[in-house]
Amino acid sequence: MTIETAAARLRAREVSAVELAQDSLRRIREEQPRLNAFITVTEELALERARRADEELARGIDRGPLHGIPYALKDVFDMCGVLTTYGSKIFADRVAEHDCAVYERLTEAGAVPMGKTGLHELAYGITNDNPHFGAVRNPHDRERIAGGSSGGSGAAVAGGMVFFALGTDTGGSTRIPAAYCGCVGLKPTMGRVGRYGMMPLGFTLDHAGVLTRDARDAALVLNAIAGFDRRDDSSSRRPVPDYLPASESSLNGRRVGVPERFFSERLAPAVERGFADALRRAENLGARLVSVATPDPAEINVIGRLILLAEASALMRPYLERRSEFGPDVLALLDQGRLISAADYIDAQRLRRLYQRSFAGVWERADVIFTATTPIEAPRVGQTTVVTGDAEEDVRLASTRLVRPFNVLGLPAISIPTMPGALPAGLQIVGKAFDEAEVLSVAARLFTAWAI
């Protein structure tokens, strides 16, 4: 059931918000031992909010499409009085003292918080094999990772525990779990959603992200959380349009850019099949496929990795003496970040601007571009390398290879699921800065046509 369907049933009195919350709690209880998607379940709070949602609807107070809808927050978003651990041993007992911006907005929208989802330690990785809270498992195959770092949010949505979940995305952390778990993952434009009260990792790369079962649902959630927040220096003052696509939206005449190089290299056979099928289907729906020249994502990724190494280590500097309290992979990255020179960091930021300018040329030929989200399907828990093409590649670098560039560039990008085989894969749709409406419209049209 989608948010739109549940919202209609709530208003028709076919179901109550309390029943939706109870159903969500039941699913969480069933799936938690199998998937480990949650760190904290806020059962009492959820039922209290659900009762309030029902009372308000009975009194004619309607807060909109998210009113009474169960959701979850990645455990990096502060909820006042609720444990917020960042997936870290260091912060394992941290109780938030304020509400973050997105939680304030979702509360205003009447949504019902079911709890906090698991993540890679400090959101600094993509496997979600967390040494302190355990591995989050993939709903399609629990021997495989859910992806990350918002893997708990991906598993909670794809596992039918909540209607939507919020994640974060610093190098693909919303889109990767969406692709591996088979749900929708939206990273809006940098500045579109306020980050106040969201744990930082890479100050100039972090985005809040949305995970849903359906592309139209992602638009509904973005409608609720987008907009200026004076407490976030990166927040945009641009007006927020209605992101929900018209139900009769079409791909007729839409120019879909297909990168002529780089993005289609070294894809796993099933991913390649899924991507080719997505292009064919888009064309059948009236889209015009155009070849576009893009900068090499490998170059953009060097810039992004270097910036993130430096920013994350600056952030965690007060804690770096507590070495035994970090997992080995995160500690290794934090050590590397201490070695980045100021000159390299500054030049990486300057290069970033050059690539942003260079990439802007793409939009003269295309309205959106399509790529695979990840070049591989979900790896197994504990797997560290994968063979792509004829070369062995680090699972972390492979998983971020096609998504990290759009954190560096700040552009909006969504992953929608394809099912090329037994495991899901993702189609990534990227748009111009602040053109989430176009990205969501194309995604929704494809999603509806595919009846995923």
Partner 1 sequence: MSDWKRDIPNIPGDAVKKVEEIEASLRPLLKQLAHGAQPALILSESAVLGE
Q: Give the strands of the sheet with 38-41, arranged side by side.
A: 38-41, 112-117, 70-74, 164-169, 207-212, 184-187, 413-418, 425-431, 368-372, 255-259, 288-292
The residue from 13, 338, 365, 380 that contacts partner 1 (CB under 8 A) is 338
Q: Are strands 134-135 and 129-130 parallel, antiparallel or unpaired?
A: antiparallel
Nearer to partner 1, 85 or 170 (CB): 170
**Which ranges constitute the DSSP H helices of 147-214?**
151-158, 175-181
Binding to partner 1 by CB under 8 A, coded x per residue (else -) over 377-416, reads ---------------------------------x------
Nearer to partner 1, 400 or 418 (CB): 400
352 binds partner 1 (CB under 8 A): yes
The residue from 344, 383, 421, 450 that contacts partner 1 (CB under 8 A) is 344
Active-site option among 88, 149, 399, 415: 149
348 binds partner 1 (CB under 8 A): yes
Closest of 67, 37, 73, 4 to residue 160, by C-alpha: 37
Nearer to partner 1, 50 or 439 (CB): 439
- 264 given a catalytic annotation: no
Sequence-ordered strand ranges (E) for 61-192: 70-74, 112-117, 129-130, 134-135, 137-138, 141-145, 164-169, 184-187
Report which DSSP code applies to 325: G
319 binds partner 1 (CB under 8 A): no
Subset of 262-301 contacting partner 1 (CB under 8 A): 299
CA distance 28 to 23: 9
Give the binding range for partner 1 (CB under 8 A) out of 134-142, 167-175, 266-274, 342-350: 342-350
The residue from 61, 95, 246, 339 that contacts partner 1 (CB under 8 A) is 339
CA distance 443 to 185: 11
Q: How far is the CB of 336 from partner 1 (least distance, A)?
A: 5
Q: How far is the CB of 191 from partner 1 (least distance, A)?
A: 3
Non-local CB neighbours of 86 within 8 Å, separated by 6+ positions = 75, 76, 94, 119, 121, 122, 123, 199
- 74 given a catalytic annotation: yes
The residue from 354, 361, 384, 387 that contacts partner 1 (CB under 8 A) is 354
Residues 450, 419 contacting (CB under 8 angstroms):
no
Q: How far is the CB of 226 from partner 1 (least distance, A)?
A: 13
Q: How far is the CB of 148 from partner 1 (least distance, A)?
A: 20
Residues 237, 270 contacting (CB under 8 angstroms):
no
- 247 given a catalytic annotation: no
Residues 119, 137 contacting (CB under 8 angstroms):
no
Give the chain's end-to-end CA distance (angstroms, integer).
Answer: 12
The residue from 2, 22, 107, 349 that contacts partner 1 (CB under 8 A) is 349
Q: Which residues belong to the active site?
A: 74, 149, 173
- Which residues lie near partner 1 (CB under 8 A)? 189-191, 203-205, 233-238, 299, 302-303, 305-306, 309, 323, 332, 335-336, 338-340, 344, 346-354, 356-357, 410, 433-434
